[in-house]
Structure 1
Amino acid sequence: MTTRPDPTYAGYRFPTEVIGYAVYLYFRFPVSLRMVEEMLALRGITVSHETVRQWGLKFGREIATRIRQRRLSRSDKWHLDEVVLSIAGKKHCLSHAVDQDGFVLDVLVQSRRNKRAAKRSLRKLLKKQGRAPRVLVTDKLKSYAAAKKDLKLRCEHRQHKGLNNRAKNSHQPTRRRERQMKRFESPCQVQRFLSIHDPINNFVNLHRDHRSASEYRAARAQAFTAWSEVTGAPLAA
């Protein structure tokens, strides 16, 4: 295999293709570090699960940053919802913000579910997106209405439990990873992991149910090409 010169990977024994593939496996699918180690071993690549973890922390963060820098267009209709996580015996709220196409816009772990927490979540989301939404969809939690008023947002606010299935479905990958990792150890770990996990999943979110087989394969090939550009690893021949 040949490796495209990239200073990010300088000094590492394994080529860019192997590191990028390991990071892709770990953050794209609900597998453990030891499963990734075994999948690489099946291809003749001997590497420990601890090495895969270190790759995920360093290169996963770098890849997620590069994906964000591409500034992929997102819808101006935002769905916000929270899910309760038990971390070290304490309850925490993980807020998810997604657009109408199911792309995760932002995540934030907080210890409370009140007006202050909603305001912090909205402020962080607005700063990250660089614009206000056209429509804001939440459940009937009054904290969001109060936070919207304080932030002087003029967007339409729809509060209805049945309208927010898009945001509720976005919790499913997090729940799968929580089970695979036998629960998260700390709020920082959740925030750090999802800040890498969600951009990578957004990048290959192909909406297979709404495409024909040929359209899906073309979109998948395009996504793999874009992944190669982001990671600096050439596609396999």
Structure 2
Amino acid sequence: GHQKYQCKKCRHQWAPEARREIGRPRTKNYPSCPVCGKAAFLHHDKEHYSNYRCCDKKCSHSFFVPKPTDISAPSMSKLFGKTDFKRMRYPVHVILTALSMFYLGKNSFRNIALILRTVMNVQVSHTTISNWCTKFAPMFQNIALQLIPALNFNSDEWHADETVIKIRGEKYYLWLILDSETRFVLGFHLDRHRDSPQAFTVLNAAKPLGTPQAIVSDRYPAYRMPVKTLYGVRHIRVESFRDDVTNNLIECFNKQFKAWYKTKQGFSSFACANNLISMFIFFYNFVRPHSALNNLTPAQCAGLVLSKSRKRELFLVA
């Protein structure tokens, strides 16, 4: 495949596979130095990013360029189910009431069925309610995608963290990123592994939503290169709760999520867990009012203003 040949007269060596004109140097499309504008060379080539350094020894600036094609898509983009309420046996307001009781409270499917039967005189099995709470994740994700472009997340800090959940008794890691001023969960990624590629995935998913002045995380080293490569902003690594800047905001979300998650006694499959988490985050961002935000939702703090009729169109009220 890489056989070389040598000329008997001039002793020049070449390989037929090298489609390069003799005497013409190879050109590589390396980016220029962002500081002085001169040429740069490849210093380190990693899986998710490339590290370049300026050729000028006086400058010697080192910079990082991400490889978006090598960063995997987050699990929040891999949902399954229905994208509308068409061909449903029960009225929409009954379904939304059941979803609100499940995601805003700690009610089990059987308790929700009991409440619907005693209060609304609606006979629904707990199995049907379980299917409702899972199958509509793509529809609510589409609603979020319609509303998010109008929101402002260019705040001082974004917080990143991960927490453990169990799916069929096996450990999985839920990676999260949250805006400090609005408490809006910008993205999540569910994965079996806890390493730098997963940090690249969740941080890359939130990048189009805005540019923070700093990103806060714990001292886990997996966040260091993704923050430096994708954002290039200040990275605050919290060491203890006595620091001036802490990661308490996202820890509070984790605590609230775990309180809801413990009532489920784990998840039955990865796909169902991914859908349920996506729905929980939607209700957290757009439906649940927060006392710390003057009883507003995170979306309202980010600039979302909707009329009552528009809320009904987007199924934000039952």
Q: How does the TM-score come out when normalised to structure 1?
A: 0.80
Alpha-carbon distance in 2 for matches of 1:118, 1:81 = 9
Instruction: Say which SS state the counterpart of residue 8 (structure 1) adopts.
Output: coil
Q: Deviations over 1:59-118 (max 9, x none)?
A: 343134213311252433310011122333332221111111322111111222222221
Q: Does 1:156 align with 2:234?
A: yes
Alignment-derived partner of residue 3 in structure 1: none
Alpha-carbon distance in 1 for matches of 2:199, 2:137 = 28
C-alpha contact 2:218 2:237 (8 A) present in aligned 1 = yes
Alpha-carbon distance in 2 for matches of 1:116, 1:137 = 18
C-alpha contact 1:95 1:121 (8 A) present in aligned 2 = yes
C-alpha deviation, 1:227, in angstroms: 4.1
More helix by share: 1
Alignment-derived partner of residue 50 in structure 1: 127
| Greater C-alpha Rg | 2
Alignment-derived partner of residue 59 in structure 2: none
Alignment-derived partner of residue 8 in structure 1: 84
Q: Does 1:189 align with 2:272?
A: yes
Alignment-derived partner of residue 140 in structure 1: 219
State how many pairs are aligned: 219
Alpha-carbon distance in 1 for matches of 2:267, 2:115 = 24
- Structure 1 segments unaligned to the other structure (5+ residues): 1-6
C-alpha contact 1:64 1:200 (8 A) present in aligned 2 = no
Alignment-derived partner of residue 312 in structure 2: 228
**Aligned residues: CA RMSD:** 2.8
Q: Deviations over 1:165-211 (max 9, x none)?
A: 11111112321232111112333332221111101221124222453
Alpha-carbon distance in 2 for matches of 1:24, 1:41 = 16
- Structure 2 segments unaligned to the other structure (5+ residues): 1-82
Query: What is the aligned counterpart of 2:153 among 75, 79, 95?
Result: 75
Query: What is the aligned counterpart of 1:65 among 132, 142, 152?
Result: 142
Relative contact order: is structure 1 or structure 2 higher (C-alpha 8 Å, sep ≥ 6)? 1
Alignment-derived partner of residue 30 in structure 1: 106
Alpha-carbon distance in 2 for matches of 1:111, 1:11 = 36
Q: Does 1:178 align with 2:284?
A: no
Kindly provide the amino acid, as one letter, of the partner of residue 191 in structure 1: N
Cα 1:177/1:148, change in 2 over 3 Å: same
C-alpha contact 1:79 1:166 (8 A) present in aligned 2 = yes
Instruction: Say which SS state the counterpart of residue 154 (structure 1) adopts.
Output: coil
Kindly provide the amino acid, as one letter, of the partner of residue 48 in structure 1: S
Quote the sequence identity (%). Answer: 22
Alignment-derived partner of residue 104 in structure 1: 185
C-alpha deviation, 1:45, in angstroms: 0.8
